Amino acid sequence: MTQQSGKHISLELAGITKVYPGAIALNDIAMSIRGGEVVGLIGENGAGKSTLMKVISGAIAPDEGRIVIDGQEASHLTPARVNQLGIALVHQELNPFSNLDVTANVLLGREMRRGFFGFLDQVAMQERVAPILEMLGTRFGPKDAVSELSLADQQLLEIARALSINLRLLILDEPTSSLTLSETNRLLEVIRKLRADGVAVLFITHRLAEIADVADRVVVLRDGRNAGELSRSEIDKDTMVRMMIGRDVSQFYEKSDNVAGKPVLELNALRTSAYPHQSVDLCLRAGEITCLAGLVGAGRTELARAIFGIDRIEGGSIEMDGQPLPGNSVPAAIAAGICLVPEDRKGEGLFLDFAVTENIAMPSHAALARRGFVDAEAVTRLAEESRKKLQIKASSLNRAVAELSGGNQQKVVLAKWLAMNPKLIILDEPTRGIDVGAKAEVYHLMQELAGQGVAILMISSDMEEVIGISDRVAVMCRGRITGILSRTELTEENILRLAVE
Amino acid sequence: MQKKDIGLATLVITVGAIVAMVNPRFLSPINLANTANLIGLFGLFSIAEAFVIVTAGIELSIGSVIALLGVIFVDLIASFGVPWPMALAVVMVLSVFIGLLHGWLITRLKLQPFVVTLCGLLIYRGVARFYTKDGTAGFTFGSNFPTLEFLVSGRTAGVPHSVVAFALVAIVAWFLLHRTVFGRHLFAVGKNAEAARYSGINTDRVIIQAYVLCAFLTGISAVFFAMYTRSVQPSSHGNFYELYGIAAAVLGGFSLRGGEGSIVGVVLGVILLQVLQNLVNLLGIPSSLNFAVMGSVILAGVIADTQFSRYREARRQQIAMSALEDSAKR
């Protein structure tokens, strides 16, 4: 093994508080972890898990609180210092250098050199990496190309990278969210092995079954606070779910009693490119807000993209108003009255450098134009109407949309679609990264549209939002719909249960 | 007119004034007419290039296409006795075909525009040289085509017809790029192809149309150049013209990342480049320094432009920050 200092780590956090403008991310958090222990960290989206992780890994400094490592107070943690202490973090989003081989990835930045010219010492590097891979029981060798590794293997690669630096505490952020069952089991096996070697593992996951399987202790966060801790014998799924939720849904959401009208969109055995072997059946009705819940990677965004014609469909059919969509393309979807507010607002929803007016008018240009010429007057009128209707706060509509706040940017994306008078509007994480006021406005708008008979499909990972606003929730897990919950059955517990199978 | 264009126009006038002061021959009718003729000739394909660059693409085969189509045009008339309107039609059809081919390779086979058109540059040049067995395609001695010559290389009231053609093309191009839905879609595709797709724009079609338009204008340009030189030497005819076009477009505010630029800008860019060429001649600068002068001016222009956009970016950041602070206070 590569562990130079065999000393087990002991990490204590006390009174950790982190405040952002307008939001308290962490409020007086305490937790501890010791070498040879696996601790599960759970909580809903926004509970503060990732902020806490960033604090431990030195990426952000807490406003208050103490971090004690090996009995010494560590006041100024930086990523470099954290590395020296033997703490490594494996992110949820893996970013290996797919153009390099396994050895180069593991030892990146710590390459070994030899000779006068300082050429890479490939042999020594491979000899250093090989035993680590062996210990992890990987199916790939030090010379394999990273581009050919599966997601699970890439995960192990990251762990190997962590192990190459005197690892004492490994933090895993949702490592299994995109792994298959057997891959997950292999990872859990590695975690057990590390524990036996005296490494501390902090394991963040939404999959409660895994926690029950491997963790010695569970720390639950809720709204940036400690919501409780469970020891090995107390861990069970229902208890964990109760601790994660444990609060009333606020009066933030207005619920009007929408009457579901005739079917607008019908998916028959639709198969998407993300999960080509799973088929989805779903019917959306006029005036109804349906929410698509599930974990990251469940295939929700991909389903939306397939309906909107961005991704090719692998099989099955999409029917609007009882008519099959003519062709699988965005223009066909728009012509049939489907709109999509994408998840990646800046990359897919907006032209950041273009004026607000231009962004709002983009899909409408063809319809407003006279013989192919842009009707500047009509475009300006449209933008002005949208500004009034959605209360877009911009000093001028000729300003680049990049200068607007997140909430107002989202309103611009909404405005460009409302101008098309859609029959079905799909909103993918519509309130992510926007402030509370704008959120309320988005909810209000959704209710208003539903009242006008528009069918709404919202994808959201925010449980509170899902329960607060939906008339009906379809829960997805690994590419298929595992259940549909009506208003009366809507509890976070029910959703979570379906989302994790 | 955009702010950038005003800056460029100022630069053109300043350079022109300096040259005129140093050497009054700059303003002589002969020199002006000659320079104008060159501006017209080079302007046609520079506008062509601009339509591709605005989609974040590039067209490197312009010079070779001008050579190949020029050779074909002259040879059809001189060797095969094809009436010139027929020859013109053939050249235009071929140019559209080349544009379609490039567009198809780029959108359907997902090849990079640089690679596709670089291969085009090599292939068309090679074919042109093979076609004439590396000889010169020229009209037989004494033959003339009064109508064609008047249309393409004639003058009306002292104004070369190449300038007239350039002006007409520029006006149409201006409306097309700045006033039509197609123009908006070109900008949208160039700025953010993903967002354009999500807005229901058929991005592939827009890109193909841009390459076809570019090739079509290059075809017109090829006929003008063939009639200007009267004989086409395929190994040198049109060499580096694509680079003139790119230079003019970049000077005119087109970003190679796409989504930016104006027709007024590219027109001014063409004028500036030709005035610089003229300056080298008139000021007695060794003509070997020709490219060096041009390169330096473009570099200076681009540096000025990036500094300006950095300033703009900083200001935007400031506005966003103060907006955030305001909302935090509330």
Task: Look at residue A3 in the predicted model and tell me its pLDDT.
Answer: 40
Strand ranges, E, within A134-250: 169-173, 200-204, 217-222, 225-231
Mean pLDDT across A371-380: 92
Amino acid at A305: R
Q: Name the pLDDT band for A405 (thresholds 50, 70, 90).
A: confident
Q: Using a CB–CB cutoff of 8 Å, tell me whether A276 touches chain B.
A: no
Residues 230-269 of B with CB under 8 A from A: 259-260
Question: How close A72 comes to chain B (CA, Å)?
Answer: 37
CB atoms within 10 A of CB B236: 12
CA-based nearest distance A231→chain B, Å: 40
Residue the block writes with tokens 């939001």:
A23
**Chain B residues with CB-CB distance to A351 below 8 A:** 188, 191-192, 195-196, 259
Q: At residue A166, does pLDDT exceed 60? A: yes
Nearest to B41 by CA among B280, B277, B306: B277
CA dist A289 and B44 (Å) reads 55
Residue A155: phi and psi, rounded to 5, are: -60, -45
> CA-to-CA distance for A462 and A76, rounded, in angstroms?
33
- Cβ separation A21–B198 shorter than 8 A: no
Q: What is the pLDDT of residue A63?
A: 85
To test the contact with chain A by mutation, choose from B181, B329, B330 the residue with the greatest count of A C-beta atoms within 10 A, namely B181
For residue A399, the distance in angstroms to the closest alpha carbon of chain B comes to 10
Does B308 lie at the interface with A, CB-CB under 8 angstroms?
no
Q: Does B321 touch chain A (CB under 8 A)?
A: no
Distance, CA of A210 to CA of A196 (rounded, Å):
18
Is B2 in the A-facing interface, judged by CB distances under 8 Å? no
A374 and B CB contact within 8 Å: yes
Task: Say if residue A319's pLDDT is above 90.
Answer: yes
Which residue of chain B has the CA closest to A376? B179
pLDDT tens-digit readout, A25-70: 788 899 999 999 999 998 876 678 878 988 998 888 888 889 999 9
Sheet holding A313-320, edge to edge: A280-285, A263-272, A313-320, A323-324
Three-state SS sequence of A115-138:
CCCCEECHHHHHHHHHHHHHHHCC
> A374, B200: Cβ pair inside 8 Å?
no
Quote the pLDDT of residue A341.
95
The answer on pLDDT for A4 being more than 50 is no
A352 and B323 within 8 Å at the Cβ level: the answer is no
Secondary structure (3-state) at A258? coil
Among residues 350-369 of chain A, which lie with CB inside 8 Å of chain B? 350-354, 358, 362-363, 365-366, 369
Mind listing the pLDDT tens digit for each residue in A430-459?
987 676 677 788 888 999 999 999 999 999
Predicted confidence band of residue A1 (pLDDT cuts 50, 70, 90): very low
Question: Cβ B200–A363 below 8 Å, yes or no?
Answer: yes
Q: Which of B194, B259, B319 sits opposite A348 (nearest CB)?
A: B194
Q: Which chain A residues are closer than 8 Å to B183 by Cβ? A: 374
- Whether residue B175 lies within 8 A of chain A, CB to CB, comes out as yes
Is the Cβ of B195 closer than 8 Å to some Cβ of chain A? yes
B181:A416 CB<8 A: no
Tokens at A107, concatenated:
């030892």
Q: Which of B187, B198, B321 to mutate to test the interface with A (most CBs of A within 10 A)?
A: B198
Predicted-complex ipTM score: 0.84
**A183-226 pLDDT tens trace:** 788 889 889 999 998 999 998 887 777 888 899 999 998 878 88
Q: What is the DSSP code (8-state) at residue A460?
A: -
Residue-level pLDDT at A126: 92
How many other CB atoms sit within 10 Å of the CB of residue A75?
8
Q: How many CB pairs under 8 A join A and B?
A: 81
Within an 8 Å CB–CB cutoff, is residue A21 touching chain B? yes
Determine the angle formed by the axes of helices B161-179 and B146-153, rounding to 10 degrees: 60
DSSP H stretches of helix in A369-491: 376-390, 406-418, 436-451, 463-469
Q: Establish if B6 touches chain A: CB-CB under 8 angstroms.
A: no
* Comparison of pLDDT for B50 and A84, the residue scoring more: B50
A296 part of contact set with chain B, CB < 8 Å: no
Q: In tens digits, what is the pLDDT along chain B, a chain of 330 residues?
A: 677 888 889 989 999 999 999 999 999 999 999 999 999 999 999 999 999 999 999 999 999 999 999 999 999 999 898 999 999 999 999 999 999 999 999 999 999 999 999 999 999 999 999 999 988 888 877 777 888 888 888 888 888 999 999 999 999 999 999 999 999 999 999 999 999 999 999 999 999 999 999 999 999 999 999 999 988 999 999 999 999 999 999 999 898 999 999 999 999 999 999 999 998 888 888 888 888 988 898 888 888 878 887 887 777 666 656 655 565 555
Beta strands in chain B (DSSP E): 137-138, 155-156, 159-160, 231-232
Supply the pTM of this predicted model.
0.78
Whether A330 and B259 lie within 8 Å, measured CB to CB: no
Does the beta-carbon distance from A358 to B184 stay under 8 Å?
yes
| Chain A residues inside the 8 Å CB shell of B323 | 405
Q: Which two tokens stand for residue B85?
A: 């309107």
CB B49, CB B59: distance < 8 Å: yes
What is the distance in angstroms between the Cα of B328 and the nearest Cα belonging to chain A? 6
Q: Is the pLDDT of residue A94 over 80?
A: no
- B-chain residues near A349 (CB < 8 A): 195, 198
Residues from chain A that touch B200, judged by Cβ atoms under 8 A, are 330-331, 333-334, 363
Q: How far apart are CA B252 and CA B242, in angstroms?
A: 15
Tell me how close the Cα of B181 comes to any Cα of chain A, in angstroms.
5
Residues from chain A that touch B199, judged by Cβ atoms under 8 A, are 362-363, 416
pLDDT, tens digit (0-9, with 9 covering 90-100), for A229-279: 999 888 887 788 778 776 444 445 766 667 778 999 999 999 998 888 999
C-alpha to C-alpha distance for B74 and B82, rounded to whole angstroms: 10
